[in-house]
Every structure is written in C-alpha cells, then in structure tokens.
C-alpha cells in the first residue's frame, strides 16, 4: 500500500504536513499514546488529538489504530513515520546545537502555590534551580486562592486539585497524605476515634465541628467530626503548638520532616482529602506556556521522583 494524496487534497495536505506536523506525528508515534505525547510536548491531549485528526483528514488515511488501552501505527502511518522520523532527528540535532545557549535561562517566572507547599517544598528547590540559572528571577504568589494563569500572567501553578482546568497542561508532581501529628514521645492512638478526645489544631476556618473520613491501609473507613481547639491559615504556627504539646495537628506529610519534633499518632491512617492526594503542576499549553516554566518543572520532577509514597 502506497501513501498517496489526491490532487484535490494536495493544498490542505501541504499545510497539514509541514515540518512541525511531521515532528509532532513522530513524537506521538514514539510516545505510544496521545496523553504521554501531550505531557512531553506541553500540550493538552485534546490539542494533540485535533492535530492528528487534521493530518489524517488532509491525507485521507488513518495513521493510528486506536483502542482503549493502546495506540499503534497503521500501514500508512508506518510509511509516513519513516519520513517524519528524519524531520524529528533534524529538529533534535538543531536543538542540541543550541542547548548551551538555551540552558542559560533568564527572565522572571511568576509562580503560584499554596503556602504550605510553597514554603516547605517549593522554596528550597527554587533556590537550587536558581543556583543553576543565576539570571533567573521569581515572583512568588503563595496563596490559597485559585489563580487564573492566563488572566494573571502566571507561568506555573502548584495545586492540590482533583479537577484541574481542562485547558491547562496538568502533571502530577508529588503524592502526599494528611496525617495526625503530635509531640515526640507521645504514644500512638488506638484509632481515629481517639482524636475526638484530644485538642486538635486545624488549618482553615473551623469554628464549628469539622467532619471528615479517615482511611486505613487495610481499607477501613472511619467518619469523624472534630472540634478544633485552634485553627487558622498558618500551618507553621499550628505545627509549633503541636511540637510544644498543645494538641494534635492535621498536616500534609511533606510539612513534617523526620527532625521536626513530631510523630505520626495514627500510623497507617490518613485523612481523605477532597482535592485528591497529588500536588499537580499546571502550565499553559504551548505556545503560550513558558519554556522556562517547563524547564523548572522537569527539574522538580527529577528531584521529587525519589520522594517516598505516603502509603
């Protein structure tokens, strides 16, 4: 079977099969899935699907065989891939030649994150990244408010969210768990229900009792309502109170390093979090997304890849 393009489609095909389209096609074939290719390219999955559909419509042939679990090339796709791979290799060679210049990142990155993640995880890593790129500057927006990346000119946002905006590129960055911590030396509790008898230190507004679910590694589920003895938006202050024996603080595990003077009072249990159990990195799709933001994200993924699972 030969890959041919009818005369009536030639103009559209010339537009659809430019160098950028051929490189995109080769990268999707190399990635083996639209979702993985989208993450690697800084695009949404919908954008990748639309580009592939445009190419297939222009040539009048299916290039990918799709199923719910796999993506493979058709015969026509394999023929095109042989040519597209040449374009991809040429493009990568050109990028390699310019790498030394590109690696000297500069400019200003606008970054948004929740304060607990920004202070305890992000800030030290930003300092390390800036050491590698001294011309780089940061504008930090550590807030619990959800920001609009496009409207507010934010390059990258870090959120715990189970429902990220569809038009943004989303990558899971750090898995975490919310646990119950008390001062070192305190004995573990018999179970989540024991928390109701202790002073609890909670982030947020908790003038009224706060209900939630606790989950165990064995699959148990306990519903519990807690009355806070102290609450607010400053987790560090609540951690300090717990360290001095003033109560039990519910905190993400990434805020409590081994030398924090706190111990997990409910080993094997975690609080169910409505926003999900991952800190997600959100960036705008190309071309609006910042290349410097994507470089920072690659660095963070590498550093956090060895972070222990909360389970």
Entry pTM: 0.65
Inform me whether the pLDDT recorded for 14 exceeds 80: no
CA angle 35–41–47, rounded 5-degree value: 60
184-216: pLDDT as tens digits: 989 999 999 999 999 999 988 787 788 899 999
Least confident of 3-17, 50-64, 109-123, 207-221: 3-17
Whole-number Å distance between alpha carbons of 142 and 236: 14
Task: Report whether 215 contacts 269 (CB < 8 A).
Answer: yes
261-292: pLDDT as tens digits: 999 999 999 999 888 899 999 888 765 557 78
Chain position carrying tokens 């090339």: 73
* Peptide bond connecting 287 to the previous residue in cis, omega within 30 degrees of 0: yes
Note the pLDDT of residue 101: 47
Task: Report whether 154 contacts 139 (CB < 8 A).
Answer: no
Task: Report whether 309 contacts 177 (CB < 8 A).
Answer: no
Least confident of 54-58, 105-109, 163-167: 163-167
Whole-number Å distance between alpha carbons of 43 and 66: 20
Whole-number Å distance between alpha carbons of 126 and 112: 12
Q: Between 101 and 153, whose confidence is greater?
A: 153
- For residue 214, what are its two tokens? 């606790």
- For residue 230, what are its two tokens? 């102290």
In 3-state terms, what secondary structure has residue 8?
helix
Task: Report whether 273 contacts 210 (CB < 8 A).
Answer: no
- Range from 25-39, 141-155, 261-275 that averages highest in pLDDT: 261-275
- For residue 128, what are its two tokens? 């390390």
Task: Report whether 210 contacts 289 (CB < 8 A).
Answer: no
Instruction: For residue 7, count other CB atoms closer than 10 A to its CB.
Output: 6
Paired residues of 250 in beta bridges = 180
Inform me whether the pLDDT recorded for 40 exceeds 80: no
| Size of the chain in residues | 311
Note the pLDDT of residue 23: 82
Whole-number Å distance between alpha carbons of 254 and 278: 12
Note the pLDDT of residue 94: 65
Q: Between 70 and 63, whose confidence is greater?
A: 63
Note the pLDDT of residue 1: 45
Report residue 81's pLDDT band, with 50, 70 and 90 as the boundaries.
Answer: confident
> Averaged over 133-159, what is the pLDDT?
89
* 72 Cβ contact partners less than 8 Å away, ≥ 6 residues apart: 64, 65
Least confident of 38-42, 53-57, 223-227: 38-42
Query: Across the chain, what does the average pLDDT equal?
Result: 83
DSSP assignment of 63-96 = -EEE-SS-EEE-HHHHHHHHHHHHHHHHHHHHHH
- For residue 82, what are its two tokens? 């042989």
């Amino acid at each position: 079977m030969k890959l041919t393009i009818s005369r009536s489609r030639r103009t559209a095909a010339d537009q659809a099969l430019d160098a950028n389209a051929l490189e995109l096609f080769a990268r999707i074939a190399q990635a083996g899935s639209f979702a993985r290719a989208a993450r690697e390219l800084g695009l949404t999955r919908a954008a990748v699907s639309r580009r592939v559909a445009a190419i297939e419509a222009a040539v009048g042939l299916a290039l990918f065989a799709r199923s719910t679990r796999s993506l493979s090339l058709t015969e026509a796709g394999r023929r095109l891939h042989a040519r597209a791979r040449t374009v991809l290799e040429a493009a990568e060679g050109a990028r390699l030649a310019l790498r030394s210049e590109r690696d000297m990142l500069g400019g200003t990155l606008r970054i948004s994150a929740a304060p607990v993640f920004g202070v305890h995880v992000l800030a030290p890593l930003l300092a390390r990244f800036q050491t590698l790129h001294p011309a780089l500057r940061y504008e930090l927006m550590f807030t619990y408010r959800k920001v609009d990346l496009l409207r507010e000119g934010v390059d990258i946002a870090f959120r715990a969210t189970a429902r990220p905006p569809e038009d943004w590129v989303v990558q899971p960055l750090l898995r975490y768990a919310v646990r119950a911590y008390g001062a070192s030396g305190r004995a573990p509790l018999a179970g989540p229900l024991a928390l109701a008898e202790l002073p609890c230190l909670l982030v947020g507004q908790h003038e009224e009792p706060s209900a939630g679910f606790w989950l165990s590694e064995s699959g148990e589920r306990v519903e519990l309502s807690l009355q806070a003895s102290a609450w607010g938006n400053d987790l560090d202050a609540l951690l300090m109170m717990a360290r001095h024996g003033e109560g039990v603080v519910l905190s993400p595990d990434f805020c409590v390093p081994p030398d924090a003077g706190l111990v997990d009072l409910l080993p094997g249990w975690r609080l169910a979090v409505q926003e999900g159990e991952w800190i997600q990195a959100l960036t705008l799709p190309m071309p609006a997304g910042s290349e410097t933001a994507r470089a920072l994200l690659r660095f963070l993924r590498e550093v956090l890849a060895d972070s222990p699972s909360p389970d």
